[in-house]
Amino acid sequence: MISGRKWNNLILYLIIFIVTLPIGCSPLRQPPKKTKPFLQEDASQLVFSLREQNKEIDSFQGIGKISFEGEEGELESNLFIVGKRPFKTRIEITHIWGKPLFHIVINGGDISVLSLTEKKFFRGHGGSLNIDQLFLLDLDPNSIWDILAGRAPVLDEAERAVRFEPNEVVLLNSNSEAIEIIRFSSNPVLPKSVYFPMKEITITLSKFRKMTFGYSPLQIEIIQEKRNRLVKIEYKNFEVNRPVPDEIFALKPLPGFKIIELDKPVKVP
């Protein structure tokens, strides 16, 4: 049984992880189905196709469970997440037996967290949050949104795509350094893992299900090697491009809640 203090610590780590979570993944229409290793020109085409399809998602909603494993212990919770362009996301974490725990709203560089267990409301605006520390992935907001929206992100600084192994594309920056590695399944062609070598973070996508807009993985794992942590999401329902009212991204403190202004960078233990 997890103690109250350790439970709060796990929830804190879960919040930090959850703002990096992917929800589903889209199929690539190009190149056509094949079983042979990618040709060099296919690498550039795949990356181009990813970038183009990343622009197709304007909103998303997902419901399921999220589990956390690390040196601090293990934790499983219910999860609801909704996002809308430009970069807006609302995340609700509920205890496995139904008790609400946290509501989180991210709007560009701003974040609000309503802790229903501690009766506290955290709020940060603009430069008051150290996004690099908070998001852990150290990615730009657009890439983070792409992950949350179910897309394999393509880093803006990627200037060239090359293939060194079958069914694998390596993205290089202007210094010819590998900054992202995307591995694909063969039939159909789908991104099944994304690795950020400079951050030592891996995202794996599995248990794909064909939906109206394409294929979506019902199981997503985020592995953070440096901190020996694993977050796994198992989705029961996921939808894209449905109307999402802006009001859902309004988060306010409840009566009697202590308001904490985050005027300093968030420190990650």
- What is the structure's pLDDT at 256? 94
The neighbour count for residue 87, using CB atoms within 10 Å, is 18
Residue 197, pLDDT > 50, answer: yes
Write the single-letter amino acid at 76: E
Q: Is the pLDDT of residue 64 over 50?
A: yes
Say yes or no to pLDDT of 26 above 70. Answer: no
**Which whole number is the average pLDDT over 185-198?**
86
Per DSSP bridges, beta strands 160-162 and 120-124 are unpaired
pLDDT confidence of 265, banded at 50, 70, 90? very low
Among 68-77, 133-142, 244-253, the least confident range: 133-142
3-class secondary structure for the chain? CCCHHHHHHHHHHHHHHHCCCCCCCCCCCCCCCCCCCCCHHHHHHHHHHHHHHHCCCCEEEEEEEEEEEECCEEEEEEEEEEEECCCEEEEEEEECCCCEEEEEEEECCEEEEEECCCCEEEEECHHHCCHHHHHCCCCCHHHHHHHHCCCCCCCCCCCEEECCCCCEEEEECCCCCEEEEEEECCCCCCEEEEEECCCCEEEEEEEEEEECCEEEEEEEEEEECCCCEEEEEEEEEEEECCCCCHHHHCCCCCCCCEEEECCCCCCCC
Contact 145, 153 (CB under 8 A): no
Beta-bridged to residue 111, according to DSSP, are: 106, 124
pLDDT band at 179 (very low <50, low <70, confident <90, very high): very high
CATH 3.40.1280.10 at 4-255, yes or no: no
* Lowest mean per-residue pLDDT among 30-44, 172-186, 188-202, 230-244: 30-44
Token readout for 86 is: 């430009």
> What tokens were used for 102?
């946290």
Average pLDDT value for residue range 68-77: 81
Query: How many other CB atoms are there within 10 angstroms of residue 247's CB atom?
Result: 6
Residue 40 main-chain phi, psi, to 5 deg: -60, -40
- Domain ranges in the chain are 4-255
pLDDT of residue 137: 46
Q: How confident is the model at residue 269 (pLDDT cuts 50, 70, 90)?
A: very low
Q: Considering the chain, what is the average pLDDT of its residues?
A: 76
> For 127-137, what is the mean pLDDT?
42
